[in-house]
Structure 1
């Protein structure tokens, strides 16, 4: 096979023709799963996995889907429907929308191994993990496919993104301490392509709430367990999940620039949450809790 061409399903049919430009791995996973289930032969050509990703990805996207010429009309109709569904705000909102295989895999985990890797707590009587999150914690019961907000959280909402983040953390967190090296989202592997457009971090909502009120920013940060650090005009470090520290940096507005906030991650973050869409969901949870904290002040 040529470099960067990954076979997702083999076929003797040819030629292969272009179907769709992929923005990120999330799209690749979703669309390849749909094509496979429909029995449509296809290739995923990933530019990220080649030696030329630095040149190709910003210009040509994360990769491409190619299908056999005979299946092109059917494949076009199929992915158009899927992409329209992905854009629907009604999808992926409820905890019930979480992939059942994630619950099943989490239920099979060895609790001792999970607690060591993820620094969480296991209650054998309730068959539940207690997962610290900012200033509070969640209880996750994989066998019952349930997540409960515990006292101390400023937001008790449990939804699809909550389940996605907590289950992936239990499954993927590694026994690796923080590196102490802080990076922006664009420095995370493939982050420069993924964290744009619909996947840009929703930080403007925080900016609008705190505006030029640095003390409000500080009080909300402290409410979430934030510790002051030296950066920007004001910054706090949070322990979002036990293995995932994160910093939020605040700049006051002036005559030339509006107020702004930015996030920084320990360089090990992609070891604990390797899928970029899961990391994006974690930031959404953080923003939700921060906004809830600001509104309590």
Structure 2
């Protein structure tokens, strides 16, 4: 299954589809299934995306900052692919406890089939965007709430993409002789929440947030 996340109508059509499905969910069941807080009185989900906190209205999908004074990269307010990935999360994801293991994209179900697309869309973008600018990479990553610095590669970090699902970005620096390289690892509970095609969008949103914070 391929979800069109491109521009204009190719974003609008899937967004309208998921908005329709969202209105029909049981919010209390979704909150329990996804491990998120739902305020029945205010009819709002509490969602964290890239560490930034949002309130998401139900049944109309309106998004607000949880703290209007908080600064950061709040891509969910305006970015259509971010809205779709959160809608899909609330509609059908199941968040289970991770064993602590992390998976490469090839290791997730159907990851081998879609690897070339993921490589071009995420791994290449990450390594050529930051492989010669590790200081900018670190600067951006350190602004993600709850981020954890790791000792993998030349520089690496772990962060929560969405409630209960974590990602690792790893970079090896490039020089005059060798190009940079990158790896993106997904916590082993991701396949219960998202399909392989979704993980390219996860990578896209994560890198876009990083670029905004490092600017």
After TM superposition, the score normalised by the length of structure 1 is 0.62
Matches within 5 A, 1:243-262: 243-262=164-183
Q: Deviations over 1:24-67 (max 9, x none)?
A: x328xxxxxxxxxxxxxxxxxxxxxxxxxxxxxxxxxxxxxxxx
Q: Which residue of 2 aligns with 1:38?
A: none
Q: Deviations over 1:51-84 (max 9, x none)?
A: xxxxxxxxxxxxxxxxxxxxxxxxxxxxxxxxxx
Sort the Cα spacing of 1:211 and 1:190 in 2 relative to 1 into closer, same or farther, 3 A. closer
How far apart in 2 are the matches of 1:88 and 1:110? Answer: 29
Q: Which residue of 1 aligns with 2:44?
A: 128
How far apart in 1 are the matches of 2:57 and 2:97? Answer: 26
1:190 aligns with 2:110: yes
How far apart in 2 are the matches of 1:175 and 1:155? Answer: 23
Paired residues of 2:51 and 2:144 also in contact (CA < 8 A): yes
Cα deviation, residue 235, structure 1: 1.0
Sort the Cα spacing of 1:279 and 1:87 in 2 relative to 1 into closer, same or farther, 3 A. closer
Bigger drift between 178-187 and 114-123 goes to 114-123
Q: Which residue of 1 aligns with 2:135?
A: 215
1:98 aligns with 2:15: yes
Paired residues of 1:206 and 1:291 also in contact (CA < 8 A): no
How far apart in 2 are the matches of 1:161 and 1:250? Answer: 25
Cα deviation, residue 133, structure 1: 1.2
Which of the residues 58, 68, 73 maps onto 1:154?
A: 73
Bigger drift between 147-156 and 171-180 goes to 147-156
Paired residues of 1:122 and 1:130 also in contact (CA < 8 A): yes
Sort the Cα spacing of 1:191 and 1:175 in 2 relative to 1 into closer, same or farther, 3 A. closer
How far apart in 1 are the matches of 2:119 and 2:169? Answer: 18
Sort the Cα spacing of 1:135 and 1:145 in 2 relative to 1 into closer, same or farther, 3 A. closer
Give the SS at the match of 1:92: helix
Larger radius of gyration: 1
After TM superposition, the score normalised by the length of structure 2 is 0.83
RMSD across aligned positions (CA)? 2.7
RCO higher in structure (CA 8 A, sep ≥6) = 2
Cα deviation, residue 147, structure 1: 2.9
How far apart in 2 are the matches of 1:208 and 1:149? Answer: 31
Structure 1 gaps, min length 5: 1-24, 28-85
How far apart in 2 are the matches of 1:183 and 1:88? Answer: 26
Sort the Cα spacing of 1:88 and 1:285 in 2 relative to 1 into closer, same or farther, 3 A. closer
How far apart in 2 are the matches of 1:180 and 1:250? Answer: 21
Paired residues of 1:135 and 1:223 also in contact (CA < 8 A): no
Cα deviation, residue 285, structure 1: 1.1
Matches within 5 A, 1:253-292: 253-273=174-194, 275-292=195-212
